[in-house]
Structure 1
Amino acid sequence: MSESSAAPTAGKALTEQRLQNILAAICEQANLDPTGAELIKFTNNAAFRLPHHPVVVRIAGSRTVRERITTVVHAARWFADHDIPAVRLLEGVDQPVCVDEHAATLWHHVPATGPAPTGQDLGAIIRSIHALPEPPFDLPRWNLLGKIHTRIDDATGVPAGDLDWLRTRCEELEDELAELDYALPAGVIHGDPFLGNLIPGPSGPVICDFDGVSHGPREWDLTPAAVGKLRMDYATDAHTPLAKSYGFDVLTWPGFASLRRLRELQLVTSVLPNLAEATPRIRKQWEHRYRTLRANDTHTRWSPYR
């Protein structure tokens, strides 16, 4: 998650066929068989499960993710050293694995055979991450707006006027964030902890997706579940048990409204670099999110990108 920060060359959008070609080259380097690989996710990253090996290959799907892939590798090893319940990198392979301007990480597949994770589980894992000592590598500073700006710049298939509106929203939020008075001490954060990033492993839930690991406000790690409660059409409320497990309810903090706006902007812009090649369902959901965000409609529910 050697590191490459170059943007994809023109005419090389990550179509499914191109992803298959990249996957084949990555597997050749790692001496793995990609035959019959299942694409299990394709938003910021393309994740493939290999049926002939207990391995998941995660291909960085945007420039912002590629730029952070070395941090992902360092964070995964750091979490393993401290027994954080998290996915583990595949051993015996130099990571990240690079193919042209693309980069990937390889992970042990965790079978989703355990009980469904809860907000209490998520709160406990976040708390354990926040309790970690200083890492033995340079932890980047939290700069989500910078990542969002890059995604807007790399957007495909979006009218220029819509991108200009998103840039203006970023500028407004930058001013808001500069004025926030945080209640919790800053430190290591996961960056995107929500139930969708917990895998119900046979020995208990484990967390994945380390693209956002950084040094930043702990309130941010409590925001995804809170926004999920208020905005997403999830069947269960993860926020309430998370707040009880963690010991702090971010909804009661005066600065939450600004972090909510930031989270919703993140959820709208996350698919922009690959939107032109996205499935009709993802495109429809993106249009729904963008339309309600621009209308300042805070009540209409959103669905996950699928």
Structure 2
Amino acid sequence: MRGIEQPMAVTGRPVTFWENAQDREEYARLDEPADLLRRLHRLREPKVLGLPHFDPFAKVRGSLATMEGLGDEDRRFLSERAERLRKEYERLDFVLPFGVVHGDANVGNAIRRRDGRAVLIDLDGFCLAPREWDLVLTSLHYERYGRHTRVEYDSFVHRYGFELMDWPDYPILADLRELMMTLRLGRRITADERAAREFAGRMHAIRTNGSRRDWQPF
């Protein structure tokens, strides 16, 4: 916040202040996060931050290790899929420059301020990674889940300036992102009946390469 020197120490803990964007929830249009990501991806890494390098498989391993209530067959299937994707990921030929990324970029993390401008939120995944990682969720939401129209998706591609689905390795990155989303949901199956039903449906779709159009957001 302007006019306040921060961070400040309160009872030995660092504290920062955040400005409320507006009092009601209003998401940006899909072309707006494309503009924001294009600007973000032009930034050079601020060395003073010591940003971590993104390791998607650290999260995959962590989720598999902590999931409760998962049957042996499902655990084996997910572990084998994760290992196959790890080997494929290591061979990916990324075409966009490596650098700073949002880490969880999608239209749900772009809201409108009270002055009408769109801003990115939820920057806890800010790190160094291939820039393709910041585009894959939007492509997934359009191509597999049907959550964006063609017109909306085309506006995103046009404003960002790159069509991820034209990249030959897009399916590998998409499968990995989808696996991570499913594993995150799987950590809730013992405590949330709705999550358990959704997880079972997703597992069936992944096993059979079935439609994802009925997947519910969590």
Please classify the TM superposition score into its range, dividing by the shorter chain length: 0.7 to 0.9
Q: AA paired with 1:120? A: D
Query: Residues 214-225 of structure 1 correspond to what in structure 2 (within 5 A)?
Result: 214-225=127-138
- Aligned match of 2:163: 249
Query: Of the candidates 135, 142, 155, which is equivalent to residue 54 of structure 2?
Result: 142
Using a 3 Å threshold, how does the CA distance of structure 1 residues 228 and 153 change in structure 2: closer, same or farther?
Answer: same
Cα distance per residue 1:65-108 (max 9 Å; x no partner):
xxxxxxxxxxxxxxx89xxxxxxxx96566xx7xxxxxxx9855
Query: Residues 129-208 of structure 1 correspond to what in structure 2 (within 5 A)?
Result: 129-135=40-46, 136-203=48-115, 204-208=117-121
The answer on whether the counterparts of 1:186 and 1:217 sit within 8 Å (CA) in structure 2 is yes
Cα distance per residue 1:256-292 (max 9 Å; x no partner):
01111111111211123333222x3222222211221
The answer on whether the counterparts of 2:142 and 2:148 sit within 8 Å (CA) in structure 1 is no
2:118 maps to 1:118: no
TM-score normalised to structure 2 length: 0.84
Greater RCO between the two (CA within 8 Å, min separation 6)?
2
Quick one: distance in 1 between partners of 2:158 and 2:167?
A: 15
2:209 maps to 1:296: yes
Using a 3 Å threshold, how does the CA distance of structure 1 residues 139 and 116 change in structure 2: closer, same or farther?
Answer: closer
Q: AA paired with 1:212? A: G
> Where does structure 1 lack aligned partners over 5 or more consecutive residues?
1-79, 82-89, 98-104
The answer on whether the counterparts of 2:186 and 2:196 sit within 8 Å (CA) in structure 1 is no
Query: Residues 251-290 of structure 1 correspond to what in structure 2 (within 5 A)?
Result: 251-278=165-192, 280-290=193-203
Using a 3 Å threshold, how does the CA distance of structure 1 residues 114 and 219 change in structure 2: closer, same or farther?
Answer: same
- Aligned match of 1:239: 153
Aligned to 1:196, the other structure's residue is in SS state helix
Quick one: distance in 1 between partners of 2:107 and 2:175?
A: 20
2:122 maps to 1:212: no
State, as a whole percentage, how many aligned pairs show the same letter.
27
Aligned to 2:199, the other structure's residue is in SS state helix
Deviation at 1:179, TM superposition (A): 1.5
Aligned to 2:135, the other structure's residue is in SS state helix
Deviation at 1:146, TM superposition (A): 1.5
Using a 3 Å threshold, how does the CA distance of structure 1 residues 108 and 159 change in structure 2: closer, same or farther?
Answer: farther
- Aligned match of 1:40: none
Cα distance per residue 1:230-258 (max 9 Å; x no partner):
12242545432111111111011111011
> Where does structure 2 lack aligned partners over 5 or more consecutive residues?
none
Q: AA paired with 1:168? A: E
The answer on whether the counterparts of 2:37 and 2:160 sit within 8 Å (CA) in structure 1 is yes
Using a 3 Å threshold, how does the CA distance of structure 1 residues 276 and 222 change in structure 2: closer, same or farther?
Answer: same
Deviation at 1:137, TM superposition (A): 1.6
Quick one: distance in 1 between partners of 2:44 and 2:211?
A: 38
Cα distance per residue 1:90-148 (max 9 Å; x no partner):
96566xx7xxxxxxx98554336476411211111111211122222211111112111
What is the number of residues matched between the two proteins?
211
Q: AA paired with 2:77? A: W
Higher strand share: 1
Higher helix share: 2
Quick one: distance in 2 between partners of 1:255 and 1:187?
A: 19
Name the Cα RMSD after superposition: 2.9
The answer on whether the counterparts of 1:186 and 1:216 sit within 8 Å (CA) in structure 2 is yes
Quick one: distance in 2 between partners of 1:93 and 1:293?
A: 48
Using a 3 Å threshold, how does the CA distance of structure 1 residues 91 and 284 change in structure 2: closer, same or farther?
Answer: farther
Q: AA paired with 1:277? A: A
The answer on whether the counterparts of 2:102 and 2:123 sit within 8 Å (CA) in structure 1 is yes
Q: AA paired with 1:131? A: R
The answer on whether the counterparts of 1:141 and 1:215 sit within 8 Å (CA) in structure 2 is yes
